[in-house]
Amino acid sequence: MILSTILLSAAAFQEPLQAEVRVADLKAHIGFFTSEELEGREAGKRGAHLAASYIENQFRRLGLKPLGEEGSYRLPFALRKDTAYNVVGILPGTDPELSKKFIAVGGHHDHAGLGSGMSGAMGFPYEIHNGADDNASGASGVLELAEYYAAHPSKHSMIFMTFSAEERGLLGSKHLVQSGILPNDDILFMVNLDMIGRLTEDKLFVGGLGTAEELHDYLDPVFEACKLDLELDDRGEAPSDNTSFFHGGIPALFFFTNIHEDYHMPSDDAERINYVGEVKVLNLVQRVIAKLDGAPSLTFRNHGGMGMPEDFMARMNTHYRSIAKRKSMKGKLGVRAGDVVGNGLLVDSVRDGSAAAEAGMKDGDVLLAINDRNTIDMMALRRALASGLKGDEINIKVLRGETTVRLTAVLK
């Protein structure tokens, strides 16, 4: 399954470099990042490693230069128990002078995994949190822009990067900025793409415009000519990776289509992405980069404060209510199991009046599968039941003595 997914994705990219940002490419990238195999890309885990390898392969295909030792685009850093990887590629500029400086474009590729809570999930453990908007959209945007600029290099050199462990507190971008791996002093400005896949009514937030003295002079005409409904903000901080660059003294812009009801939820899925909207966002980023590519230098300004959309807190409050509602709808089976017996779990007890009791499950049954997913251990059982809501019908396979019995339960 992994291999076939990767091969399929690779096959879609055997064509010549694309001169423009395309819906089809965004769909292919986001489709890969949100595939079941990646299990929500939790930093330090296999899914995030697969995402980093995919990005590395794309950077190599585009002819970017690696920053890491021995030709690796993946730059490791330590988490408490695991290793996580940022991915960085360099594209040389065309102007002999301006190419000594860099325009940096980044976005995080990690997300909340199986909702352990460490990555800010909203309390739905054992469900896959695909993070299509957060931030498969941004990581895919980085890939699409890298492809565009590989075909049309800018005067400045460019750095394309995706970060890991953003959801654990901007750890990957902090590591990149603080470890001295990046040419910090020579970065003209940074663009952060985090959650750019849910453009609604063409409303887009652009933060960080006060982080260099000249930004408004350069960019106000670009924004005035833009057909999107822009909310512009000068402040340099946000709950996202541009903050790490801003704290490192680098002008940094933040593009964001705002939070929504699926934020950090198992329902942040690819089919809810506004792909045409994301192309519009990336086209604006291209115009911003084109304008600033003519700037020989920018003067950093320490303009702090959390720059977020005006209705962010109101949206968050609505979101918390919908989370509580979804939690109250979670369905229970009502069995206690523990010991692994053969290919299943031994049912210690079936609670009276529970969904399991009404379905006819009995103490001593060995639970083999739920909805055709094997329940070979407790983790598998929790995952099989995780997304079940009250009233959902599930198919259960148990071994009773020597006989396989199939039951249907309605979760309570």
Binding site for Zn ion (CB under 5 A): 134
191 vs 369 by CB, closer to Zn ion: 191
Task: State which residue has the least CB distance to Zn ion.
Answer: 134
Q: How many residues does the chain have?
A: 412
| Least distance in angstroms from the C-beta of 55 to Zn ion | 18
Please give the distance of CA 191 from its chain centroid, rounded to a whole number.
Answer: 16
β-bridge pairing 393-400 and 366-370: antiparallel
32 vs 256 by CB, closer to Zn ion: 256
Show Cβ contacts of residue 48 under 8 Å, excluding neighbours closer than 6 positions: 38, 41, 42, 84, 85, 109, 110, 113, 164
Q: Residues 204, 208, 212, 217: what is their CA dihedral angle, to the nearest 10 degrees?
A: 20
| Least distance in angstroms from the C-beta of 29 to Zn ion | 18
134 vs 269 by CB, closer to Zn ion: 134
Which CA distances in Å does 274 have to 137, 144, 194, 283? 10, 16, 14, 14
| Least distance in angstroms from the C-beta of 134 to Zn ion | 4
Distance CA 73, CA 56 (A): 6
| Least distance in angstroms from the C-beta of 388 to Zn ion | 25
DSSP 302-332: ---SB---TTHHHHHHHHHHHHHHHHHTB--
25 vs 134 by CB, closer to Zn ion: 134
| Least distance in angstroms from the C-beta of 221 to Zn ion | 32
134 vs 237 by CB, closer to Zn ion: 134
119 vs 375 by CB, closer to Zn ion: 119
| Least distance in angstroms from the C-beta of 130 to Zn ion | 12
| Least distance in angstroms from the C-beta of 120 to Zn ion | 6
Burial (0-12, 13-18, 19+ Cβ within 10 Å), 227: exposed
Distance CA 41, CA 51 (A): 7
38 vs 215 by CB, closer to Zn ion: 38
